[in-house]
Amino acid sequence: MPVFLDIYQRSLNKFGEEMCGDQVKILKTPTATIIVLSDGLGSGIKANILATMTTEMIMTMLREQAELKDVIDTVIRTLPVDRERRIAYATFTILTIDHSNQDAFTIINFDNPPPLFFRNNAVHPLESEQSKISGKKITISRGNIQLGDFLGLISDGILYAGLGTTMNFGWGWENIARYVEEEVINNKVYAAHTIVNAVVGMTYRLYHYQAGDDATFVGVYARERKSLMVFSGPPLDNGHDWEYVNRFLEFNGRKALCGGTTANIVAEYLGTKVKTIISSITDEVPAIGELPGVNLVTEGVLTLAVTLELLKNSDGKLDKLQSSKDGAHLLAHEMLSADAIFFLVGQSINPYYQNPLLPKNISIRRFLIDQIVEVLKSFHKDVIVEYC
């Protein structure tokens, strides 16, 4: 993929409701990225169930490679219709980005507000056409996403913020577009979460901090990929140490070493020694170290165990991490800041850290890294693991 798709979503629940009536599902594969946003009629539990059913149905069919027309037809026929208002019980927007075709995208919109698309820091019109499927009007927009572009999908709760005030019909699409232009141009935004948080924050203020409807904004920002390699554990065959060290040092991205033995192997290759930062020691996490050309050097198993818990508690968000400078917080920060993480995991087992309940060929280190990998994948990170 020539660009990395930085995806971020944020929702506001209608005031007084514990559950959001908007739902978002994201699927990333090597060949495509699919995002589904659904807005259930009304609010609360009923709306949440309807939106969840809609997103799950759409994503399941797309995952099974069903034709888009068949997907839409099935969903529209399945969704019940409100008898009084004669509208479907859930609206939806489907964004598909084809990585095998120069990141060409298609947006299928059923009764949600139009998408927002920005290129060169300004609103960029999309080629759109209308079609009818099962008697319902569908808007289809097409384009291709390039480096620096931003796509925004919104539910109508974003549009209607400010309704009944001087903004008679709410904030409105044009005002949102203008606000995003100002955020991009004035603040030189390089992350999806910055734009999304700015828009949702303004929406919340326009609702006077009591949202009158569920409101969701999904942002997709095309930028350069941020990569990280984590080298942890000495290789099983020490005759190949230099080969893996060389790969690590030549990696095009940020680099983290986890483990004293691993760090010493790299230090020997560099003809130096690891410098220990005593001030970084905590009750739970051993000290970090320093090596030229390496962004982070930490202890191994103990640090990985704490890092795993920090990642689980972060929900994938950097702002949920404390600003602590211990090895675990710094390692979690590196992982959450990266888009693609490559783990190079040595399989030489330190008996001191071996759990007798694990098979002899599986170390605690590998066990922890496997769990970290699953958590990172749940945050839509691109993760590759190589055992050596």
Q: What architecture is the 4-223 domain classified under in CATH?
A: 4-Layer Sandwich (3.60)
* Predicted local distance difference test score (pLDDT) of residue 2: 60
* Predicted local distance difference test score (pLDDT) of residue 13: 95
Which among 3, 8, 350, 359 has a CA at the least distance from the CA of 197?
Answer: 8
* Predicted local distance difference test score (pLDDT) of residue 121: 84
Global confidence as pTM = 0.80
Which among 219, 157, 164 has a CA at the least distance from the CA of 15?
Answer: 157
**What does DSSP say about strands 116-119 and 150-154: parallel, antiparallel, or unpaired?**
antiparallel
> Is the distance from CB of 188 to CB of 1 less than 8 angstroms?
no
What CA–CA distance (Å, rounded) separates 369 from 285? 17
* Predicted local distance difference test score (pLDDT) of residue 162: 76
DSSP helix/strand/coil, 128: strand
Which among 12, 15, 7 has a CA at the least distance from the CA of 35?
Answer: 7
What CA–CA distance (Å, rounded) separates 364 from 358? 8
353: CB partners within 8 A, 6+ apart: 300, 301, 363, 364, 365
Q: 3-state SS of 144-166?
A: ECCCCCEEEEECHHHHCCCECCC
Cα torsion at 45, 50, 52, 55 (round to 10°)? -160
Q: Where in the chain are all domains bearing CATH 3.60.40.10?
A: 4-223
What CA–CA distance (Å, rounded) separates 225 from 347? 29
Rounded average pLDDT per 10-residue block, the chain, 388 residues:
83 94 91 93 86 92 86 81 64 93 92 93 91 86 93 94 68 92 76 91 93 95 93 83 91 95 93 94 94 95 94 90 91 95 84 49 79 93 90
Q: Strands, DSSP E only, in 155-263?
A: 215-223, 227-232, 254-258
Strand partners, 22: 39
